[in-house]
A and B are shown apart, each in its own frame.
Chain A
Amino acid sequence: MIYKWANGLFLYQLAPSFFYTRQDLVTWLFMQTGMHQWLLYNSFGQISFDIAFYTMPLLYLVIYKYKPKLSAVTALVMLLVNFCYVQCYTLYPSNSIEGHIAWLLFPIVFIPQNKRTSMLLFEGLRYFFLFYFASAGIWKLAQGGAFSISQMSGVLLYQHNQLLTSSSGYWQAGLILYFIENQHLSYFLYISATLLELCFSIGFFTKKYDRLLVFAFLLFILMDILIMRMPYFEVFPLLLTLWFSKAKKMQVNLLH
């Protein structure tokens, strides 16, 4: 939250003036509400959305502690708030909706009053997280990116042409240019990332390596920041599903 605020990523800081319609059937239905247009040039609406979005987890925690009977309704409201916020937020020039998937799915775990149901949903999220990564690796094979030696150089040029032209003397620009020039080295990075993503499919068969997958994910995020300048912090909550996958007792404590 502090990171997002410090980088001007709250909705009121983006203060959007237009939207970009994405290819999403549910989004098109949602857009009929006109909420995304109501928020344009609307400081009050934007701040209200930010407050609702960022305080809901805390509100849920307080309600769960002092009024547990209302916790299911609060979780449901949190799901609705997250859905509306993420739908609108990602229609503006900000970030992709795919990166916000944890906000959309995690509240579901807190809706059931039955602890066993919550635990099973939590475990379901673990499988989703495995799919999230493994499918990214499969896509790279299916779409052919993994079979093109110049792939990573092309990706880096596409991703960083602004950095390379405006800040050519900067250390990160130098590092990126080095990878672009050395196609085999950058291709090795791309293949390593693909293999790392594919490694997540092992989690469908055993939980034995879940902690290793957590470290693999952290390595992936670190490299993403360093080489791609893409901070994927929004996905972090899904890490909990791997970290606590074997500790049933801890899962119960974590969820309730």
Chain B
Amino acid sequence: MYLKQLYQHNKILCAAIILFALAQLINNIRQDIAISPIYSYGMYSSRIIPADFYTVPEVFVNGKQLKAQDFSAPQWDNITLPITEFYTQESWNLHQWQQDIHRLLPFTDSVKFVNNISEQQFKKWYTVHLQTILKRKIDSVNIVFTNYHFTGSAFTKANK
């Protein structure tokens, strides 16, 4: 009914919308890389089995650990996402470049796809970032990745 109305009103628009819908469907079926604004919405759809161990980033400001309960969900993401993404971005971005971008597109230079930031620069930026979120002066920031064991009912620090 909708497509019929669309076709009668504007054939080009109708073709464009059918094309968009088909692209969306095919991309989902092929489980291919996204082509903005065509994405798949399958978050948490693949099997996720509870693990025995989890590596958790912890942030200590002036020697005191930040707690998720003291922040809204977006604020907490704003605190932890930069950490988790910084420590994986180098290998991830390079992988994207080598595995797909370089292969699918005629680009020869990776400079637009990888960062040029050292850990020291990141930590300097992160201290300022935290000061803005916490709205107070920070003397020291310590980022630790701690390995936790999930016992089935609680988390306990795993032996190194």
Contacts and interface: CB of A to CB of B under 8 A. Distances in A.
A57 interface: no
Contacts of B146: 165
Contact of B68 (A24, A96, A162): A162
Contact of A135 (B5, B40, B86, B93): B40
Contacts of B128: 15
Interface string A20-37: 111111111111101001
A20 B89 contact: yes
A15 B34 CA distance: 26
A170 B69 contact: yes
Given A20-B93, A145-B44, A104 B36 contact: yes
A167 B67 CA distance: 6
A230 B73 contact: yes
A145 B78 contact: no
A142 B45 CA distance: 8
A145 B46 contact: yes
B56 interface: yes
A105 B92 CA distance: 29
A98 to B, nearest CB: 5
A163 interface: yes
A249 B33 CA distance: 40
Interface in B51-93: 51, 54, 56-58, 65-70, 72-78, 80-82, 84-86, 89, 92-93
B13 A162 contact: no
A23 B44 contact: no
B65 A25 contact: no
Contacts of B155: 161, 164-165, 168
Contacts of B84: 93
A121 B133 CA distance: 41
Q: How large is the interface on B (under 10, 10 to 19, 20 to 34, 35 or more residues)?
A: 35 or more
A163 B50 contact: no
Contacts of A127: 2, 21
Contacts of B117: 17-18
Contacts of B133: 8
A165 B46 contact: no
B63 to A, nearest CB: 15
A153 interface: yes
The listed residue with most B CB atoms (<10 A of its CB), out of A15, A97, A145, A146, is A145
A93 B81 contact: yes
A19 B49 CA distance: 30
Nearest to A94: B81
B2 A123 contact: yes
Contacts of B58: 165-166
Contacts of B28: 135, 139
Contact of A151 (B47, B51, B122): B47
A231 to B, nearest CB: 6
B48 A155 contact: yes
A13 interface: yes
B34 A25 contact: yes
The listed residue with most A CB atoms (<10 A of its CB), out of B39, B54, B101, is B39
Interface of A: 4, 7-9, 13-15, 17-32, 34, 37, 41, 87, 93-98, 101, 104-105, 116-117, 120-121, 123-124, 127, 131-133, 135-136, 139-140, 142-146, 148, 150-151, 153-155, 157-158, 161-170, 172-173, 177, 180-181, 225, 229-231
19 contacts: A8-B78, A17-B129, A18-B89, A27-B36, A34-B112, A87-B36, A96-B43, A98-B39, A104-B36, A120-B9, A120-B13, A121-B13, A140-B44, A143-B42, A143-B45, A166-B58, A168-B155, A169-B69, A181-B153
